[in-house]
Amino acid sequence: MNSSADFSAAIKTHGLRKVYKSQGGANIEALKGLDIEVPRGSFFGLLGPNGAGKSTFINILAGLVNRTSGQAAICGYDSIRHMRSARLSIGIVPQELVLDPFFTAREALEVQAGYYGVGRKQRRTEEILDAVGLLDQADAYARSLSGGMRRRLMVAKSLVHSPEVVVLDEPTAGVDVELRQQLWSYLRELNKSGTTIVLTTHYLEEAEELCDRIAIINHGELIACDKKHALLAPLDNKELKVIFDQDLLSIPDSLSAWDCDLRAPRELIVRYQRGKTNVVKVFESLKETGLSINDITTKESDLEDVFLHLTSVRGNNKVGIK
């Protein structure tokens, strides 16, 4: 083991590159010198559009793809030089449902535990099946399980060796709302117990609700990585949707100082920056219109706004690989 290894981070990469060689065409650089550090115990979101390089990054950590250059370490163990220790430190839940249809849920976990050298007395098969809501289906064959149950079985398989880091690649794709909430509840508890969770998802509201730190990659490059509140802070925009009790032909003069948009005859959008404007001034301008208001709702900038802003300004028309 390298005595200079950094054990303070759950995952750490430096200058990580992956180039896919093409016959007769241009090589595709999926990762372009990626530097990412995932703190231990964090609930970390890894976001990016299709083709950003997220799955390539995860597959390198899992040992399924060889890096072209750079470094990648899991809990201080280099993914190549300390392969065994690195693999024991991480559990991967891939997008694809990789299950043997002739194994029951219980058998699938037992076989997976055997792969990792977990002794029979140390195995937690029943506990894990219960935690992911599959104990009643423990003796059902994988081929007979619903899509959502198969997804939960994939999560269960990743936990059999009690890894310090769990990486979930689009874990709720095709999972109904109830099962999704159950899965997140369990992952929150797992994170509270000290397990580092890394999540990739296209459901940005999930990442915003669950993650404390978020990284965004695009075309193989890291374009943002910070605590969630720090990422949201620069977009200080807020919207008021105002519904009047009568039709408007134009935006009232008293609102000319604000960024307004008449979406419908009775629906007006007023935009302002919270850090620069006291909302009382907006309401005073609304009062000056002399019009009666039926309803007011608010909308703040969210992770989706940040994501679209960052990925669009970085040239979203480049060619990438997932």
Q: How do beta strands 221-227 and 196-200 pair?
A: unpaired
The answer to whether the beta carbons of residues 170 and 55 sit under 8 Å apart is no
The answer to whether the beta carbons of residues 140 and 72 sit under 8 Å apart is no
On the 0-12 / 13-18 / 19+ scale of CB atoms within 10 A, 189 is exposed
In the predicted structure, residue 321 carries a pLDDT above the cut 60:
no
> What residue spans in the chain does CATH classification 3.30.70.1560 cover?
237-300
Confidence class for position 81, pLDDT limits 50, 70, 90: very high
In the predicted structure, residue 314 carries a pLDDT above the cut 70:
no
In the predicted structure, residue 187 carries a pLDDT above the cut 60:
yes
Q: What's the rounded Cα separation, in Å, for the pair 78 and 202?
A: 29
Q: What is the pLDDT of residue 320?
A: 35
pLDDT per residue over 168-178, tens digit each? 998 877 677 87
Between residues 22 and 269, which one has the greater pLDDT?
269
In the predicted structure, residue 155 carries a pLDDT above the cut 80:
yes
Q: What is the pLDDT of residue 1?
A: 39
Query: What is the secondary structure of 91-148 as a DSSP string?
Result: EEE-SS----TTSBHHHHHHHHHHHTT--GGG--HHHHHHHTT-GGGTTSBGGGS-HH
In the predicted structure, residue 298 carries a pLDDT above the cut 90:
no
Mean pLDDT for 306-319 is 61
Q: What is the pLDDT of residue 319?
A: 36
Q: What is the pLDDT of residue 315?
A: 47
Confidence class for position 69, pLDDT limits 50, 70, 90: very high
Between residues 3 and 226, which one has the greater pLDDT?
226
> What residue spans in the chain does CATH classification 3.40.50.300 cover?
9-89+163-232
The model carries a pTM of: 0.76
In the predicted structure, residue 303 carries a pLDDT above the cut 60:
yes
Measure the CA dihedral 156/158/161/162, to 10°: -80
On the 0-12 / 13-18 / 19+ scale of CB atoms within 10 A, 140 is middle
**Residue 226: strand pairing partners:** 214
At residue 78, the 3 state secondary structure works out as strand
Q: What is the pLDDT of residue 57?
A: 95
pLDDT per residue over 6-27, tens digit each? 678 999 999 999 999 887 778 8
From the options 3.30.70.3270, 3.40.50.2000, 3.90.45.10, 3.40.50.300, give the CATH code of 9-89+163-232. Answer: 3.40.50.300
Highest mean pLDDT among 3-17, 58-72, 180-194, 278-292: 58-72
237-300: CATH class: alpha beta
